[in-house]
């Protein structure tokens, strides 16, 4: 066997392998025997028909195809051994160059390579958020409105009134194939002029920013038509640039009589002795939420800089695998909404190929690079989960899976106790691992990290759990054979 190694720019090796004709002939006869074992040859027992008889029955092409498969199965490991290539995954036959002599081209994906550069020099300013007094006041006012008494009034709606309306909405010039109706006629109650009462956690105001201002000055029995052109920052960016018409009729206007803001109100809201205690609790909850969001965004910025400063090489098959993963995930999400991919593509007026090339593949490439960078970061920083921790996590999960009846009901019949424990343990392990990675990223970016990674307290790195991915059971053995899931920060 003669081998020629050719470099490529896509992190694969091209191997041209040339065999002697006698080798191929040997494999053709092996192929004929295999074919005769599964193909009925008149007058012969399975596997006993002579080569020429098999050749007449199935043809040279079928035998040659089978022979090439046998040759590849036998030759491929030898190719890897002789070339000293450590592949990322299975190679593939790229081309049959010739048959005289037998000459084949193989493509072999290489292990990814990551160079993080001077990542320990990354610095990102960290300024923890604060809670303003007006933020606390907004929450207090919302609580007062919900605890208030709605009293019918015979006047136009004012700021803070509870307004009952019957409303419908439609697109004025819907695109081809687009649903015209946005809101079927229905009854709604809204607080006039108070947008935060109708704004979700992501900051989207329903049905569009400023709608509640349109309620001010309208009396019961009156109708109003409001037109709005959606922007990308509105509730649904799919409607960006399109104009809609909202038609509503006011059915009633009620003034909300608010309770006094005092210690009695605090008692009404929960186990608070004083109004000040209630305010402090609100402030702490707001601060906790802001800190979580700020920390999430901060880590994203640090990881972006980590990725930008890294040099990453990986074979195309890694992206293809991630494309398939993202497509499956999309189909699962659509299934939860009682929709399939075909209907989704039709609604968006795009083809499967357009979806993959314009949206899925760019996301897959970014995911592969990001995950490889984080994996290498975890390796260099020696971020690990000890075998003893794995054991403890699994024991807790197994005990909970056995004793928590409510959890068992939620899991249903799709999981037995061991499977449920495995799933719970994996989630805990991934959460712990990601938090340790986040802590390390934060320490480096704020200039508070030690020059070297922290030393481990027990065992060597080889005895601990790092970033190895596995789909096997997490049930520990005496050596804690449980393994941590691949982290994604």
Beta bridge partners of 205: 199
Q: What is the CB neighbour count within 10 angstroms for residue 285?
A: 13
Strands 149-152 and 113-115: unpaired
pLDDT at 452: 56
Q: The domain 2-111: what is its CATH number? A: 3.30.70.1050
| CA 415 – CA 401 distance, rounded (Å) | 10
pLDDT at 481: 35
Residues 6+ apart with CB under 8 A from 302: 122, 124, 441, 442, 444, 445
* Structure tokens given for 425: 């343990």
* Structure tokens given for 97: 């160059």
Instruction: Say which DSSP state 415 is in.
Output: -
User: 329-366: per-residue pLDDT in tens?
Assistant: 999 999 998 899 999 998 888 999 999 999 999 999 99
pLDDT at 179: 84
At 332, phi and psi to the nearest 5? -65, -45
Q: In 63-180, which ranges are E strands?
A: 92-99, 102-109, 113-115, 149-152, 162-171
User: Which of the residues in the chain have pLDDT under 50?
Assistant: 455-489
Residues 6+ apart with CB under 8 A from 284: none
Q: Name the fold adopted by 149-257.
A: Chitinase A; domain 3 (3.10.50)
| CA 377 – CA 306 distance, rounded (Å) | 9
On whether the CB atoms of residues 85 and 6 are closer than 8 A, the answer is no
On whether the CB atoms of residues 169 and 246 are closer than 8 A, the answer is yes
| CA 68 – CA 90 distance, rounded (Å) | 16
pLDDT at 451: 61
Q: What is the dihedral of CA 94, 97, 99, 104, to 10 degrees?
A: -40
pTM for the full predicted model:
0.75
On whether the CB atoms of residues 473 and 422 are closer than 8 A, the answer is yes
First to last CA, the chain: 47
pLDDT at 461: 36
- DSSP assignment of 265-330, as one string? HHHHHSS-SSHHHHHHHHHHHHHHHHHHHHHHHHHHHHHHHHHHT-EEE--HHHHHHHHHHHHHHH
Per-domain boundaries in the chain? 2-111, 115-147+267-310, 149-257, 314-370, 381-489
């Amino acid at each position: 066997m003669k081998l020629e190694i050719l470099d490529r720019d896509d992190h694969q090796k091209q191997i041209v392998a040339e065999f002697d004709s006698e080798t191929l002939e040997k494999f053709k006869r092996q192929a004929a025997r295999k074919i005769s074992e599964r193909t009925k040859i008149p007058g012969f027992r399975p596997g006993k028909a002579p080569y020429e008889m098999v050749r007449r029955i199935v043809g040279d092409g079928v035998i040659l195809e089978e022979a090439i498969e046998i040759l590849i199965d036998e030759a491929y490991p030898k190719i890897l051994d002789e070339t000293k290539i450590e592949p990322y995954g299975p190679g593939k036959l790229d081309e049959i160059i010739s048959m005289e002599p037998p000459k084949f081209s193989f493509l072999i994906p290489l292990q990814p390579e990551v160079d993080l550069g001077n990542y320990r020099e990354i610095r990102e300013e960290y300024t923890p958020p604060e809670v303003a007094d007006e933020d606390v006041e907004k929450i207090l006012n919302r609580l007062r409105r919900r605890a208030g008494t709605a009293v019918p009034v015979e006047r136009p709606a004012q700021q803070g009134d509870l307004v009952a309306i019957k409303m419908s909405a439609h697109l004025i010039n819907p695109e081809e194939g687009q649903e015209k109706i946005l809101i079927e006629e229905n009854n709604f109650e809204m607080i006039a002029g108070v947008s935060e009462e109708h704004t979700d956690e992501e900051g989207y105001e329903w049905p569009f920013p400023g709608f509640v201002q349109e309620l001010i000055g309208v009396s019961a029995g009156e109708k109003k038509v409001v037109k709005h052109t959606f922007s990308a920052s509105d509730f649904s960016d799919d409607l960006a640039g399109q104009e809609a018409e909202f038609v509503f009729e006011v059915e009633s206007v009620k003034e909300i009589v608010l309770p006094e803001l005092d210690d009695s109100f605090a008692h009404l809201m929960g186990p608070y002795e004083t109004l000040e205690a209630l305010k402090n609790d609100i402030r702490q909850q707001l601060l906790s939420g802001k800190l979580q969001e700020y920390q999430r965004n901060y880590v994203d910025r640090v990881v972006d800089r980590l990725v930008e400063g890294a040099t990453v090489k990986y074979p195309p098959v890694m992206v293809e695998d991630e494309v398939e993963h993202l497509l499956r995930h999309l189909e699962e999400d659509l299934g939860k909404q009682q929709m399939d991919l075909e209907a989704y593509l039709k609604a968006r007026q795009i083809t499967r190929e357009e979806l993959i090339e314009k949206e899925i593949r760019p996301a897959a490439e970014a995911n592969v690079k990001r995950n490889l960078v984080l994996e290498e970061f975890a390796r260099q920083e020696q971020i690990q989960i000890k075998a003893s921790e794995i054991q403890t996590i699994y024991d807790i999960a197994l005990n909970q899976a056995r004793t928590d009846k409510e959890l068992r009901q939620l899991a249903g019949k799709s999981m037995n106790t061991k499977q449920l424990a495995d799933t719970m343990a994996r989630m805990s392990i991934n959460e712990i691992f990601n938090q340790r990675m986040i802590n390390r990223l934060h320490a480096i970016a704020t200039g508070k990290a030690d020059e070297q990674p922290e030393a481990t307290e027990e065992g060597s790195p080889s005895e601990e759990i790092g970033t190895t991915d596995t789909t096997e059971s997490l049930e520990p053995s005496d050596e804690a054979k449980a393994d941590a899931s691949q982290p994604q920060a």
